[in-house]
Amino acid sequence: MSRETPGLLPGALHGLMMDRPLLVVPLLQYAAQFHSDTEVVTRSVEGPIHRTTYAELYRRTQRLANALIALGIKPGDRVATLAWNTWRHMELYFAVAGIGAICHTINPRLSGEQMRYIIDHAEDRLLFFDLTFADAVAENCKGSPSLLHRIALTDNAHRPNHPGLSDVVTYEELIGQHSDTFDWPEFDENTAASLCYTSGTTGNPKGVLYSHRALVLHSFACCLTSTMGLSTDDRVLPVVPMFHVNAWGVPYAGPMSGAALVMPGRDLDGPNLFRLMDDEAVTCSQGVPTVWMGLLTTMREKGRKPKSLQRVLVGGAAASEMLIDAYELEFGIQVNHAWGMTEMSPLGVVNTLKPKFQKKPRAEQMRQKLKQGRVVYGVEMRIVDEAGTPLARDGQTPGNLQVRGPWIAKSYFKAGTSALTPDGWFDTGDIATLDADGYMHITDRAKDVIKSGGEWISSVDLENAALGHPQIAHAAVIGIPHPKWQERPLLICVARGTAKPSLEEVNAFLATKVPKWWLPEAIAFVDAIPLGATGKIQKSKLRTQFKDFKAG
């Protein structure tokens, strides 16, 4: 099939439907009109709980749009944010995109060098930052030739008094001077709305440029019952940050569905999340496994769950059996595993059990639940071998996972070349199996897979199995050279207490969970597993650290 938008078939008729563009501002307009009193609650970076409604948030978004125009921001300009999940960050999402400019969300966990690189690469004109990042801004975000102004996301009472920030204005001062009505332009739905750089585990970060059309279509997908199932019944707390792939689409899907939003600000540890969820009657939440491990510790300490919490979405890294069991069996919170990528806006698959699995015994259900999930409509998915030939959807054969669809990137910002295979698919860099029911299971990143005697060992599955051991708090598996098998797995762990289990003890435990020939060749203990800016294990660092490691 051609990669370009196809024309009409000879003799076919155009449908007679209106050609209204899919733009993001109407999502918020809809919420402001029909869910005007629905709340957006934030634990503010300044400290207190801040409460607003979609109607008020929309009025302030119009003030901001007027302010951006007054600052000289033009369509196509990039406006950067270095900010947590807050109502002000929501206003930026909509106002910047609404005037045809591009909201560039910067990950504050990037190194200073990477931050400077992406600000210069994106040629950001403005930078809006939360107080938490004042030092980073003073240090890394100065002297960029494109940057006109730096704006602190706060009011005048909290103006940062950092010597390197004497020129900053505050957000409230800025928008307070402007009218709360704005005449939004209408434009092509393929216009860029936001920009997010990949976490850059290899080389420099690459910019993914989302279009209005992609974000709106992706929001519909987020609201499906078989994905996040957002609705007016929900009070949603996105733990996943707005600086990482649009907080998995929640800031757009929330207004679309009329769900209330509870924004956690900067404190994402178990006790703070528990309190906010409890106080604000949060029904569902989205985050990476580390976040859910933190909340689990707090729930166990308190002996209960946050009172209204019904379901959590786990993605960004694999969810372990231990985590799923603890949430579902100990606390009655439904866990939905999910997978996606920065390049995919990010939703690709979400795990909900089809009825035929719901009737199965728990162990069989768990096999299905540990898969990353079922393909979401709108994403086409295939696995291929090294030559690009599609492989069987049998749930057994691993291959390179490739995707295509209207919310998937076709090239990177300013790259000038296609990011796709010659036949128009995006290669995710993940190795996975796909079954006939559409469930996809990641077995590895292509570069992390361990090739032992010509067969593949899944480092992800081994890590998850190891996490079930009571004395192991964190685990990472990498391949080490082996004279006979080419590569064998090395299990690198952080111990849960002072006692460190032996290789024999751990392997006896793992033997009940994974094939015998997968069992680690060796075990090593470290104080901490290195994590990248988006919380993923940095295996490249571990490979360097253990490059001279000898088993036995």
Binding site for ligand AMP (CB under 6 A): 198-199, 245, 315-318, 337-339, 341-342, 346, 372, 428-430, 442, 445, 460, 534
Three-point CA angle 169, 171, 172, nearest 5°:
110
Chain-centre distance for alpha carbon 127: 22
71-102 exposure pattern, b = at least 16 Cβ within 10 A, e = fewer = bebeeebbbbbbbbbbbbbbbbbbbbbbbbbb
Annotation says 536 is catalytic = no
Of 382, 369, 407, 370, nearest in space to 221 by CA = 407
CA dist., res. 401 & res. 337, Å (int): 18
Minimal distance in Å, beta carbon 343 to ligand AMP? 7
Minimal distance in Å, beta carbon 210 to ligand AMP? 13
Q: How far is CA 479 from CA 366, 455, 506, in A?
A: 27, 13, 17
In a 10 Å sphere around its CB, with 0-12 CB exposed, 13-18 middle and 19+ buried, how is residue 315 labelled? buried
Q: Are strands 334-340 and 450-452 parallel, antiparallel or unpaired?
A: unpaired
Minimal distance in Å, beta carbon 289 to ligand AMP? 8
72 Rama sector, left if φ>0, alpha if ψ -120 to 50, beta otherwise: left
Query: Is 57 or 514 the residue whose CB approaches ligand AMP more closely?
Result: 514
Given the residues 198, 298, 342, 352, select the one marked as catalytic.
Answer: 198
CA dist., res. 262 & res. 103, Å (int): 21
Minimal distance in Å, beta carbon 327 to ligand AMP? 15
Query: Is 144 or 402 the residue whose CB approaches ligand AMP more closely?
Result: 402
SS3 assignment, position 472: strand
Query: Is 68 or 317 the residue whose CB approaches ligand AMP more closely?
Result: 317
Q: Do residues 482 and 488 lie in contact, with contact meaning Cβ atoms separated by under 8 Å?
A: yes
Minimal distance in Å, beta carbon 344 to ligand AMP? 8
SS3 of 80-145:
EEECCECHHHHHHHHHHHHCCCEEEECCCCCCHHHHHHHHHHHCEEEEEECHHHHHHHHHHCCCCC
| Helix axes of 54-70 and 87-98: crossing angle, nearest 10 degrees | 50
Minimal distance in Å, beta carbon 347 to ligand AMP? 10
Q: Do residues 75 and 99 lie in contact, with contact meaning Cβ atoms separated by under 8 Å?
A: yes
**In the beta sheet, which residues pair with residue 82?**
129
Closest residue to bound ligand AMP by CB = 342
Query: Is 338 or 523 the residue whose CB approaches ligand AMP more closely?
Result: 338
Annotation says 456 is catalytic = yes
Minimal distance in Å, beta carbon 373 to ligand AMP? 8
Of 296, 312, 323, 299, nearest in space to 467 by CA = 323
Query: Is 53 or 428 the residue whose CB approaches ligand AMP more closely?
Result: 428
Query: Is 129 or 339 the residue whose CB approaches ligand AMP more closely?
Result: 339
Of 252, 242, 183, nearest in space to 211 by CA = 252
Given the residues 321, 456, 500, 536, select the one marked as catalytic.
Answer: 456
Query: Is 287 or 501 the residue whose CB approaches ligand AMP more closely?
Result: 287
Query: Is 172 or 444 the residue whose CB approaches ligand AMP more closely?
Result: 444
CA dist., res. 217 & res. 227, Å (int): 14
Minimal distance in Å, beta carbon 481 to ligand AMP? 24
CA dist., res. 124 & res. 127, Å (int): 7
What is the secondary structure of 533-548 as a DSSP string? TTS-B-HHHHHHHTTT
Given the residues 343, 463, 487, 521, select the one marked as catalytic.
Answer: 343
Q: Are strands 124-129 and 78-82 parallel, antiparallel or unpaired?
A: parallel
Annotation says 227 is catalytic = no
Given the residues 74, 414, 451, 547, select the one marked as catalytic.
Answer: 451
Query: Is 109 or 500 the residue whose CB approaches ligand AMP more closely?
Result: 109
Query: Is 350 or 510 the residue whose CB approaches ligand AMP more closely?
Result: 350
In a 10 Å sphere around its CB, with 0-12 CB exposed, 13-18 middle and 19+ buried, how is residue 441 labelled? buried
CA dist., res. 409 & res. 392, Å (int): 25
Minimal distance in Å, beta carbon 316 to ligand AMP? 5
Listed in sequence order, the residues at least 6 apart from 203 whose beta carbon sits closer than 8 Å to its beta carbon are none
Q: Do residues 129 and 152 lie in contact, with contact meaning Cβ atoms separated by under 8 Å?
A: yes
Minimal distance in Å, beta carbon 348 to ligand AMP? 8
User: Catalytic positions, please?
Assistant: 198, 343, 451, 456
